[in-house]
Amino acid sequence: MHDPRPTTDRRSRPNVALGAFLRSRRDRLTPAQAGLHPVPGLRRVPGLRKEEVAGLAGISPDHYSRLEQGRQRTLSDDLCEALALALNLTDVERKHLRSLADPGSRRGSWDRPQQPEPGLLRVMTALDHLPALLLGRRSDVLATNALLAETLGVTFEAGTSFVRWLLLDEAARARIVNWTDYARAAVGALRYELGRYPHDRALAALIKDLRARDPDVDRWWHDQGVTDRTSVTKRIAHPTGGPLEFGVEAVTLPQSSDQQLVIYTVEPDSPTARVLPLMHSSALQAARG
């Protein structure tokens, strides 16, 4: 018997995320930044016109309009590269564009329990003189060391959402001096992850909840920025150690790309480097009870 209900083919759905990202990158780019000589007269858009991006990418204006409307669900690698050059995308933005250009390429069982990668755990143990934590999908905490708890003033149990603490807990805003910079980068990392795994419903639900709970998160989400968590400076106001400054680096392994070992590095002989051994001793004493 014929089913009168309409069916929806995933391949025919508009690629809204791709269109929104292209539009946001076009709006932020001026003709001068794109190497164009602006045409005299009042411009109706803050950034480039659609036809200007189309010309830089070597495609027709109609073709580019279809992309921003989400009417072309997938893009070739050559077209992605042409758009990346036209829009002056950064390396992480290029990767994000490629993820958006093939939204059906990554699937998985997102509800499976996450297990820490043994190799990353060994590295974290060897670096116990520096604050470190191991993050999995959706910024879930898989493991931490004692010095991280001493630095941030919070103990994360396995399975805790680090990004939820960072964005919603008032203690995080009080402890992290440059909270705005770090929190905005975390929102960009969530967007980058959602681009890679658009079918992860738990990730989408987390983002929706964070946006609903905090207007800053929602505003940053609309900015369409993407980051990959690497090389972020974090400044901490510690109650006994004083002002601390770390270079936060993320390490991944090819066989476990969904996990990141986040290490708080310090400059040699800096005030932070000199106070860390005392904090480490205090953290170990607290861990022993």
In percent, the amount of the chain with pLDDT more than 90 equals: 73
Q: What is the pLDDT of residue 230?
A: 62
Tokens of residue 134, six digits? 């191991």
List 141's β-bridge partners, or say none: 135
pLDDT band at residue 256, thresholds of 50, 70 and 90?
A: confident
pLDDT single digits (tens) 213-254: 999 999 999 999 998 866 678 999 999 999 999 999 998 888
pLDDT at 2 over 70: no
pLDDT of residue 13: 78
Alpha helices in the chain (DSSP H): 16-28, 50-57, 61-68, 77-86, 91-101, 118-126, 146-152, 162-168, 170-175, 179-196, 201-213, 215-222, 271-288
* Average pLDDT over all residues of the chain: 89
Say how many C-beta atoms besides its own lie within 10 A of residue 250's C-beta: 16
Burial string for 124-145 (b: 16+ CB within 10 Å, else e) reads: beebeebbbbbbbbbbbbbbbb
CA-to-CA dists, residue 192 to 18, 56, 80, 243, 250, angstroms: 12, 25, 16, 31, 15
Q: Which of 109, 68, 85 is nearest to 34 (CA)?
A: 85
What token pair was written down for 213?
A: 């709970």
286 residue type, one letter? A
User: CA 22, CA 139: separation in Å to the nearest integer?
Assistant: 26
Q: Say yes or no to pLDDT of 87 above 60.
A: yes
| 49: Cβ contacts below 8 Å, ≥ 6 apart | 43
Q: Which residue has the higher pLDDT, 86 or 289?
A: 86
Confidence (pTM): 0.85
Q: Say which residues have a Cβ less than 8 Å from residue 257's Cβ, sequence separation at least 6.
A: none
In this predicted structure, what is the pLDDT of residue 11? 52
Distance from C-alpha of 34 to C-alpha of 226, rounded to nearest angstrom: 20
| Those residues with Cβ within 8 angstroms of residue 182's Cβ, 6 or more apart along the chain or in another chain | 166, 176, 232, 234
Average pLDDT of the segment spanning 79-95 = 96
Show the domains of the chain with their CATH numbers.
16-36+44-101 (1.10.260.40), 118-287 (3.30.450.180)
User: Distance between CA 87 and CA 240 in Å, rounded?
Assistant: 47
Strands 242-253 and 232-238: antiparallel
Residue 269 tokens read as 């002989």
What pLDDT is stored for residue 284 in this prediction?
78
pLDDT for the residue 41? 64
Q: What does the pLDDT read at residue 4?
A: 41
pLDDT tens, residue by residue, 174-188:
999 999 999 999 999
Give the pLDDT mean for 101-121. Answer: 78
Instruction: Give residue 38's pLDDT.
Output: 66
Above pLDDT 70, what percent of the chain? 89
In degrees, rounded to 5, the angle at the alpha carbon of residue 63 between the alpha carbons of residues 59 and 67 is 115
